[in-house]
Amino acid sequence: MDSAAPEVVEVAAPRMMLLRLPMEIRLMIWDLLFAMTRLSFGKVWLICDSDAAGEWDLAPAQNVLALRLTCKQIDDDIGKTRWLRHVLFHFESEFSMLDKLACLPAWLVSEIRHLRVRTQPITVQWGGNRPDRVGRPFGPAEERAVTYNLTSTLKFLSHLKLDRLTVLTGVEWVSGGREVAQYHLLDLLIRHSSGWKELWFMCRNSFMLRWDHPSIDRHAQPMHWQSVLSARDNTSSSSPPSVVVYRSKTPREEPGRVPTAHMHHPANWERFDQTPWNLQMVAYGRDPILCDHTEAMKEMLVVVKRGGNANYQNPPGSPFIDLDMREEARGQDWQQIRVKTANFDPAKRLPYWPDVGYTNVNEYKWVFYYPDDDFRL
């Protein structure tokens, strides 16, 4: 005798209170959670009094995007790209930035709104037997290394539409020193860079505006950069372009110590302006305030905002600038170029350093330093 098949009764699982909220409120909650999230990549040099000292591969915290996997309804709320508009992408070098973003589809890159990168120029060894602009081949004797700064590497990321690009100045050694390289880079970013509405240019001290140097055309700032940006953008907009210099209210505690970070919160800022009528600056090419060592050790932040009517997007095929990597590449993509760089080492494998422990997504470190009692993995 066949037994009757058991009756299956479907019981709907009770919905959590969070998912009963209106869609608009749920989206505000998801956006806030992602706005407190940072995805970090690149190599860092860890300084500590233990065997962990050395080079590490910085990586996002584990399960940092696990919210999308919580349940289907939350994943449907967020969608494929909504989270990209709120998280902060942080890169420890321009090389790591191109490694992660240059291979992505243009539509995906265009969804990113917040990006932070530490400057570290990329040096490419271009080979011979490559035609120049008029078709003449370069011979082996003409192989040369060319170094490109952030203005050039950003051109490789077409379709960027950032709300904010944050630049942490790194180790750029050129004739005249690091401060000359920083001044020159910021000047180029204001004149030629695109793909962002707002630029935060952060320096660990105020040396960049301290004195004149023969290799740069020095002006009183930010007055001069304001005039450059106004000429580039439409000043008739209801929101005209602006350039403002801020410095930390607190200098670094002691010379020689690990640089402390103060500028991630506006409460620590104070505005700074140079005037062209300062006789000491005109006569001697130096700023009398910044010649004081305590004042010069204060961190500096330059905030650049494009005009409301400015076309800030970074279109593919834009005109070449000086030292433009795209011009030398002649159609090669980043994967083909990276093997020619000084940073490329296919055999090198590093341990992972998870980016955890921050309370504010905009926090940053100038140096990854941990005394023995503070070191945690």
Sequence-ordered list of residues with C-beta below 8 angstroms from that of 17, at least 6 positions apart, any chain: none
Mean pLDDT throughout 236-252?
86
pLDDT tens-digit map of 115-160: 999 998 888 988 755 544 444 444 454 567 888 999 999 998 988 9
Mean pLDDT throughout 245-272?
76
pLDDT of residue 118: 94
Phi/psi at 329 (5° precision):
-70, -35
Checking if the pLDDT of 279 tops 60, the result is no
Separation between Cα atoms, residue 190 and residue 230, nearest integer Å? 10
Instruction: Evaluate if pTM is beyond 0.95.
Output: no
Q: What is the 8-class DSSP label of residue 341?
A: B
Sequence-ordered list of residues with C-beta below 8 angstroms from that of 127, at least 6 positions apart, any chain: 138, 143, 340
Q: What is the 8-class DSSP label of residue 312?
A: -
Nearest residue to 200 (alpha-carbon basis) of 142, 264, 139:
264
For residue 217, name the pLDDT band (cuts at 50, 70, 90).
confident
Cis check for the bond before 316: say yes or no (omega within 30 of 0): no
Nearest residue to 164 (alpha-carbon basis) of 130, 115, 216, 220:
115
Sequence-ordered list of residues with C-beta below 8 angstroms from that of 165, at least 6 positions apart, any chain: 115, 116, 117, 195, 196, 198, 199, 200
Q: What is the DSSP string of 116-160?
A: EEE---EEEEE-SS-B-TTSPBPPGGG-EEEEE-HHHHHHTSTT-
pLDDT of residue 284: 56
pLDDT of residue 324: 86
Q: Burial, 216: exposed, middle or buried (Cβ in 10 Å; 0-12, 13-18, 19+)?
A: middle
Report angle CA 233, 247, 250 to the nearest 5 degrees.
165
Q: In the Cβ-directed half-sphere of 360, how many Cα atoms lie within 13 Å? A: 10
* Number of C-beta neighbours around residue 268 at 10 A: 17
Phi/psi at 256 (5° precision):
95, -15
pLDDT of residue 109: 94
Alpha-carbon separation of residue 195 from 73, 74, 77, 206, 321 (angstroms): 33, 31, 28, 27, 15
Separation between Cα atoms, residue 115 and residue 153, nearest integer Å? 14
Checking if the pLDDT of 376 tops 60, the result is no
Checking if the pLDDT of 329 tops 80, the result is yes
pLDDT tens-digit map of 165-215: 999 997 554 445 778 889 999 999 999 999 999 999 999 888 888 876 766
Contact 128, 142 (CB under 8 A): yes
Cα dihedral 80, 85, 90, 96 sign:
positive
Which DSSP helix (H) or strand (E) runs through 107?
A: helix 106-109
